[in-house]
Amino acid sequence: MTVDGHILALSGGVGGAKLALGLGTILSPQRLTIVANTGDDFEYLGLHISPDVDSLLYALAGVNNHDTGWGRDAESWTFMTELERLGIDSWFRLGDRDLAVHVYRTHCLRSGRTLSEATRDLTRKFGVASRIVPMTDDRISTLVETADGRLPFQDYFVRFRCQPAIKGILFDNSSASRPSDAFSQALEDPRLSGVVICPSNPYLSIDPILSIPGVPDAIRSRGVPVVAVTPIVRGRSIKGPTAKIMAELGVTVSPLSVAEHYGSLINGFVLDTLDEPIAAAIAELGLAVTVTDTIMQTSGDRQALAFGAVELLGRLSEDGYGTPAPRKRHERT
Amino acid sequence: MTVDGHILALSGGVGGAKLALGLGTILSPQRLTIVANTGDDFEYLGLHISPDVDSLLYALAGVNNHDTGWGRDAESWTFMTELERLGIDSWFRLGDRDLAVHVYRTHCLRSGRTLSEATRDLTRKFGVASRIVPMTDDRISTLVETADGRLPFQDYFVRFRCQPAIKGILFDNSSASRPSDAFSQALEDPRLSGVVICPSNPYLSIDPILSIPGVPDAIRSRGVPVVAVTPIVRGRSIKGPTAKIMAELGVTVSPLSVAEHYGSLINGFVLDTLDEPIAAAIAELGLAVTVTDTIMQTSGDRQALAFGAVELLGRLSEDGYGTPAPRKRHERT
């Protein structure tokens, strides 16, 4: 990989945003495009909420809330308190500061602008140099099938706190969607030198991106290396309900399952040091494996993991991985 | 006037709301309908703002801000601070608590409900027993002609702080509008026993209500007494730019001009004690005049003025004013 090669990162919310932030600190802004899952987007009190775009925006702007793990720093809650006082449905927590983004974005969308345009505008206003790009400007809605019926993602995730057991996951309207222009451009950019799948929930955060028709083929056809960073460490999710969902879907809660899930799309895998014993099993899938610390608590952790992922991309490029012909050797049957 | 007679109050924002609150405390809720000017309504960042409805709502709920004279009590400004930080247009001040109403109302309207329905819902949520009714569910926009061109009302009022000299006032879309159902019902209610025009700006707050086709005729045809409470005391407005606008429109800044402006629509006028010298001149117009303190600083002031207005309605009823036949005697030619 050349030092001016471009990196495309696929990310969900908070967990992925940590690595995206790490990538943002080690790569010059024009080299990094972060594609955000928008399957979790929903309307709440008429406001368009893009949870993963916002997690990325706040993390990269350095204004995310470290205490809660979501939302804005220095937040206040007067608006929600008033909604509650009035007996207005207030299951989704919108801080007063956070609300500025939701009101502004909704205003942009109602004025006929796209989510991509609104996001570009917001990243600029927040002083974020790297590109944060919604996966699509079409509406894709992640729905989860549970014992209690089909639920919109935010109902499952926030209102019911991931309690219902998941039997299946759907990406409504996905088949009619197209990648956003900026996502397409990043996929087609001749300078693209690698793809990083962030340590987000593979089923709920990355699969919606890959469900957009043509996206997996576009990634494969570029012949650049693709590495996934594990969201699972020692059988537990670093963040969120990934492990719980894997168990409910009947999948062994292991990085190996994640690697198998991504299958022939990836050429490399970043595994946590604590899971080193299964490195060989992952290599058996035909993947180059980097073993390193993947739990990101400090900015140093985030940078180190970002370096690890980019270094693996570079190693794969040098080895000829990621060019269409040799890659075939590693495809699973 | 019978003790169970119904009163219809026509009101603008803060100034009118004080008297409306007074009326609300002396009349049982089912006897009072307050019609709010909606000519000042506008969209700001995609939110539907109804300034006069909100002033009435907050005043009658006892949650208005006494320090600023507008908006909510116990307000915080995190949302606006964030908009400003992001460089987003923030000329209209929206407090975090206030925002709950704007977001909820906008959500109702986007969901296909009317402004009347949203307002009824909000009054209930705020625990306000009296009816606050928007003058129309159609869009009427007050525009002011100034030396700097035609301005939407809020631009004139807030952004330019009433600085541009007014040359004329227009109520855009007024000719195509209808009174809201609740306003029509109140006008047609056989129990209607009088109309009070609150001490609001006659040109900017009351005229929009009277600009709705059929409204002045409907009031006249009921044959009930109509009294106006002066918004001018000793040549100055009690609240807002009424005096400035009268001067710019070439009208003498006097309660007499206000009485003349309402003309044959009214039968009675409530004048401030400080203007007693012109009581005779107003009576000359064929109006019954009550002279009392009209500056409302305490709840006692508001109640006393409300009593004064209702008492004048009662006196007019007993005198046969307000029944169609005798009223004709007082119409100006």
DSSP state of B37: P
CB contact under 8 A, A97 and B78: yes
The model's pLDDT over A155-206, given as tens digits with 9 standing for 90+, comes to 898 888 899 999 999 999 999 999 999 999 999 999 999 999 999 999 999 9
The tokens of A247 are what? 């168990």
Nearest chain B alpha carbon to A103:
B45
The neighbour count for residue A175, using CB atoms within 10 Å, is 10
The model's pLDDT over B253-292, given as tens digits with 9 standing for 90+, comes to 999 999 999 999 999 999 999 999 999 999 999 999 999 9
Predicted local distance difference test score (pLDDT) of residue A237: 87
- Run of H or E residues at B226: strand B226-229
Q: What is the DSSP string of A9-66?
A: EEE-SHHHHHHHHHHHHHS-GGGEEEEEP-TT-EEETTEEE-HHHHHHHHHHHT-B-T
Predicted local distance difference test score (pLDDT) of residue B14: 86
CB contact under 8 A, A86 and B76: no
Predicted local distance difference test score (pLDDT) of residue A3: 54
The tokens of A102 are what? 């939701």
Whether residue A78 lies within 8 A of chain B, CB to CB, comes out as yes
How far does the CA of residue A261 sit from the closest CA of chain B (Å)?
Answer: 40
* CA dist., res. A218 & res. B170, Å (int): 58
* CA dist., res. B166 & res. A202, Å (int): 62
Interface mutation vs chain B, best among A48, A77, A80, A86, most B CBs within 10 Å: A86
CB contact under 8 A, B104 and A96: no
Contacts of residue B140, Cβ cutoff 8 Å, sequence gap at least 6: B38, B39, B171, B172, B173, B174, B177, B208, B211, B212
CB contact under 8 A, A45 and B99: no
CB contact under 8 A, A79 and B75: no
Whether residue B84 lies within 8 A of chain A, CB to CB, comes out as no
**Does residue B326 carry a pLDDT above 70?**
no
A170 burial via Cβ count (<10 Å: 0-12, 13-18, 19+): middle
CB contact under 8 A, B110 and A46: yes
The tokens of A117 are what? 């345009």
CB contact under 8 A, A125 and B47: no
CB contact under 8 A, A46 and B111: yes
Interface mutation vs chain B, best among A88, A92, A110, A125, most B CBs within 10 Å: A88
**pLDDT tier at B303, thresholds 50, 70, 90:** very high
Quickly tell me which residue has 């549970």 as its tokens. A146
The tokens of A298 are what? 């400090």
Q: Where are the alpha helices (DSSP H) in chain B?
A: 14-26, 51-61, 78-85, 96-110, 115-125, 153-154, 181-188, 207-210, 215-222, 242-248, 255-262, 279-283, 299-318, 324-327
For residue B110, the chain A residues in CB contact (below 8 A) are 46
Predicted local distance difference test score (pLDDT) of residue A238: 82
CB contact under 8 A, B46 and A110: yes
Q: Which domains does chain B have, with CATH numbers?
A: 6-39+138-330 (3.40.50.10680)
Nearest chain B alpha carbon to A123:
B86
How far does the CA of residue A68 sit from the closest CA of chain B (Å)?
Answer: 18
Predicted local distance difference test score (pLDDT) of residue A70: 87
**pLDDT tier at B2, thresholds 50, 70, 90:** low
Closest by alpha carbon to B10, among B26, B23, B1?
B23
Give the mean model confidence (pLDDT) for residues B3-30.
93
Closest by alpha carbon to B274, among B318, B234, B322, B225?
B234
Q: Which of A47, A78, A106 sits opposite B96 (nearest CB)?
A: A78
Averaged in consecutive runs of 10 residues, what is the pLDDT profile of chain A (333 residues)? Answer: 80 94 95 97 96 97 91 95 93 94 97 98 96 97 93 89 93 97 97 97 97 98 97 89 92 96 98 97 97 96 97 92 44 40
Quickly tell me which residue has 């035609």 as its tokens. B150
Whether residue A92 lies within 8 A of chain B, CB to CB, comes out as no
For residue A87, the chain B residues in CB contact (below 8 A) are 125
Predicted local distance difference test score (pLDDT) of residue B321: 67
Nearest chain B alpha carbon to A110:
B46
Whether residue B124 lies within 8 A of chain A, CB to CB, comes out as no
CB contact under 8 A, B76 and A76: yes
CB contact under 8 A, A83 and B104: yes
∠ CA B55-B59-B62, nearest 5°, is: 140
Exposure class string for A38-53: b at 16+ Cβ within 10 A, else e? bbbbbebbbbbbbbbb
* CB-CB contact of A289 with A225 (8 Å): no
* CA dist., res. A142 & res. B249, Å (int): 59
Cβ-based contacts under 8 A for chains A and B: 80
Predicted local distance difference test score (pLDDT) of residue A331: 42
* CA dist., res. B13 & res. B201, Å (int): 9
Give the mean model confidence (pLDDT) for residues B71-100.
94
Give the mean model confidence (pLDDT) for residues B235-240.
85
* CA dist., res. B13 & res. B199, Å (int): 10
Q: Please, what sign has the CA dihedral across residues A261, A263, A268, A273?
A: positive
* CA dist., res. B185 & res. B181, Å (int): 6
Question: Rounded to 5 degrees, what are φ and ψ at B85?
Answer: -60, -35
- Run of H or E residues at B75: none
Nearest chain A alpha carbon to B80:
A100
Closest by alpha carbon to B164, among B91, B235, B244?
B244
What do you get for the CA distance between the two ends of chain A, in Å? 28
DSSP state of A316: H
How far does the CA of residue A130 sit from the closest CA of chain B (Å)?
Answer: 17
How far does the CA of residue B281 sit from the closest CA of chain A (Å)?
Answer: 49
* CB-CB contact of B211 with B140 (8 Å): yes
CB contact under 8 A, B76 and A75: no
CB contact under 8 A, B107 and A46: yes
* CA dist., res. A160 & res. B144, Å (int): 51
